[in-house]
A and B are shown apart, each in its own frame.
Chain A
């Protein structure tokens, strides 16, 4: 089975830029999506197909991929961006969906 590895935690000063990374072999083949989860709330899709934003997601959220690493960048972080962030992709063998280990983003 495939794994998606994320840094456990990152911090960013208010208004600054932070990058959350996700590493895994499946990212060489399949698109990544990213989910924001605030404490006590359901996850919210913030990026899909590597770099597309759903309606209503601020443009300070962006995504990219290089090789086996997908990245979520928050440009001009706001207090409300403090949350856990999970990447997601598919794995072909076995055929299932896998989430990253999660990154806690703290806005200072």
Chain B
């Protein structure tokens, strides 16, 4: 059964870079059939798509975060990661990862969500 699990530092200081990893079990990230995305839920706000990696190729990012965001796939092909630079309190959220069809597919969905990891930006 496919499982995704997020991991991260928990607490980050303002202006620093936060790194999060999503570990995929029982599937290959390099599959052409799927992409792998990061999402977040800030306190009191709604879900937001952060960005996605597809196979070992292109990445796609939310325009509002593009200048601060780096997405990558680990060489083991069992993990994908994000780095978000220059964080502020507005980046405090629960961060999730999930699977979805190839970017730009006519039919899209996000499934097999990880349980989420809390990131708090505070000095």
Contacts and interface: CB of A to CB of B under 8 A. Distances in A.
Interface residues of A, number: 27
Given A43-B47, A96-B49, A99-B46, A48 B107 contact: yes
Interface stretch (B10-18, B25-33, B84-92, B112-120): B112-120
A90 B49 CA distance: 11
A73 interface: no
B25 to A, nearest CB: 15
Contact of A97 (B41, B108, B114): B108
Contact of B113 (A44, A54, A88, A96): A44
A99 B108 contact: no
A86 B39 CA distance: 13
Given A31-B106, A43-B96, A99 B49 contact: yes
A97 B116 CA distance: 19
Interface string B42-53: 000011110000
Interface residues of B, number: 24
B108 A33 contact: yes
A54 B111 contact: yes
B108 A90 contact: yes
B110 A96 contact: no
B108 A31 contact: yes
Nearest to A89: B108
A35 interface: yes
Contacts of B98: 43
Interface string A82-93: 000010111000
Interface of A: 1, 30-31, 33, 35, 37, 41-45, 48-49, 54, 86, 88-90, 94-102
Interface of B: 37, 39, 41, 46-49, 60-63, 96, 98, 104, 106-111, 113-116
Given A30-B106, A48-B109, A88-B49, 19 more contacts: A1-B63, A30-B108, A33-B109, A33-B110, A35-B47, A41-B115, A42-B116, A43-B39, A43-B98, A43-B110, A49-B109, A86-B46, A88-B47, A89-B108, A94-B63, A96-B63, A99-B47, A99-B49, A102-B46
